A = this chain, B = another copy of it.
Amino acid sequence: VDRTRDDQPGDDRGEDLNRPRRRRTTLADIAARAGVSVASVSFALNGAPGVSNELRERIVGLADELGFRPNRAARDLQAGTSSTIGLVLVDLSNPFYPEIASGVIAAATARGHEVLISQVGTDERGHRDAVLAQLDRGSEGMLLTSITAGDAPLLKELQRRGHPFVQVYREIDDVQADFVGIDDFGAGTEMGTHVAACGYRRVAVLGGAEDSSASRRRALGFVAGLESGGATVINRDNLWGELTRASGAERSAAILDGHPDIEAFVCGNDVIAVGVYDTCRSSGLAVPGDVGLTGFDDMSLSSAGPFQLTTMTVPRDDMGRISTDLLLDRIAGDTSPPRRVVLAHSLQVRETTSERAS
C-alpha cells in the first residue's frame, strides 16, 4: 500500500491536505499594510501606550483580518521565557499519574502556561536526561514526581543553577525544597490501625520500594499502626518490593507458603492488592473471610463491580493543581522559604476488611 506518487502534481483528492503552507502573518506584514512601523503594531497589539486609539483600532482590525497570531518562539527568545513547565513522571500508563497530570495541565493552562510531560520509565539515567531535555526546551520549572534518594545531586544542581522545582508525592531527605504530598506515615498508621482493629492478628505488609520516600513512610506507618493495635507483622525485615500486580501475586504466594495462617495483607498500593487477590483466588482463599486485604491510592479499579477494596484516598488532582500553583509562584519570583504542603487523605473502608469474630 506504499504507492506514494509525490511526483504527480495534479493529485486529485477532495482537499489538499499538505499544500505548501502559507507563510504566517507577522508584525511586519501588518505594519506594511498599515503604513506604520512594527514597533507601533507591537505596541498597539499588546495594549502598550504609545499609539493613538485610532491607530490602535485600525491595527487591531488589520491583525484580525489577516489572522495574525504572534510567533511564540520569537516572543520567548526576546523575553527569555517560555511559559512552559515540565512534569516528570515514570509512565502515564501507570494509572497513578494521569490524574496528577490532569490537575497540572488544568492549573498551568489557567495561568497561561503549557506543560511538557517527560516519561522517564524505570531507567536509571532517565531522570537526569529528562530534566536536561526539559531545560533545553526552556522549561521554566519542573514538577518532579518520581524521585529517589539517588536523585539528590540532580536536585542540588538544579538549585545551584537557579531552576525552580517542586517535589510531588515523593521527597528527598537532605534537599531543602518545596514539597506537595500527603502524610504517608500518618495515613499508613491509620490503615494499620484499622486492620488491627478489625481483629486481624498475623499480618503481612507488602510495601513499595524503600528508596521512595512515600512508599517507605507508608510501610513504616502500616507497621506502627498494626503493632500498636496488637497485630504482628510477620515480614518485618522484608517489607519492600515493586508496586506491581505481579509483585503482589508473587510475594503473597511466597508468604502464604511460609505462613499458611496469615490473616491479612496490607499493601503499598491498590495494584499490589489486585495481585494479592489473584493469589487468594487461585488458592481458594475467601476475601475478607479467610484473609483481609487493603490497598492504597483508591484507583478506579479498586471499587469496580464486585471488587470493593479497602484503601486510602489520595487527592491526586489537587496534588497536581497545588504543586503547579506553587511552582508558578516560584517562577514568578516568590523567594519565601521552602514549603511543605501536606494534603488530606481519607480511609475508605470497603469490603475486603471486616470485623473478625475471633
A18 at the binding interface (Cβ < 8 Å): yes
Contact B162 A137 (CB under 8 A): no
CB-CB contacts of A5-17 with B at 8 A, as 1s and 0s? 1100001011111
Contact A159 B16 (CB under 8 A): yes
By DSSP majority rule, is chain A's interface helix, strand, loop, or mixed? loop
Contact B73 A82 (CB under 8 A): yes
The segment from A58-66, A95-103, A225-233, A250-258 that touches chain B is A95-103
A98–chain B nearest beta-carbon distance, Å: 4
Q: Which residue of B lies closest to A116 (CB)?
A: B114
Question: Which residues of A from 152 to 196 have beta carbons under 8 Å from B?
Answer: 156, 159-164, 175-178
How many copies of this kind of chain does the complex include? Answer: 2
> Contacting A330 at CB < 8 Å: which of B5, B18, B93, B116?
B18
> Contacting A306 at CB < 8 Å: which of B164, B305, B336?
B305
Interface residues on A, range: 35 or more
Question: Which residues of A from 65 to 101 have beta carbons under 8 Å from B?
Answer: 69-74, 76-77, 82, 91-93, 95, 97-99, 101
Contact A132 B69 (CB under 8 A): yes
> A77 contacts which chain B residues (CB < 8 A)?
71, 73-74, 77
> Contacting A305 at CB < 8 Å: which of B73, B115, B135, B277?
B277
> Contacting A304 at CB < 8 Å: which of B19, B135, B302, B334?
B302
Binding site for B on A (CB under 8 A): 4-6, 11, 13-22, 69-74, 76-77, 82, 91-93, 95, 97-99, 101-102, 105-106, 109, 114-119, 132, 135-138, 156, 159-164, 175-178, 274, 277, 281, 287, 299-302, 304-307, 309, 317, 330, 333-338
| 23 A–B contacts, CB within 8 A, in A order | A5-B336, A11-B335, A13-B338, A15-B177, A17-B164, A18-B330, A21-B161, A21-B162, A21-B163, A69-B136, A73-B138, A92-B98, A93-B98, A93-B99, A93-B102, A97-B98, A105-B118, A114-B137, A115-B117, A274-B305, A301-B301, A306-B307, A307-B307
Q: With contacts A93-B99, A95-B98 known, what are 5 further pairs, Cβ within 8 A?
A: A17-B178, A18-B162, A18-B334, A106-B119, A277-B304
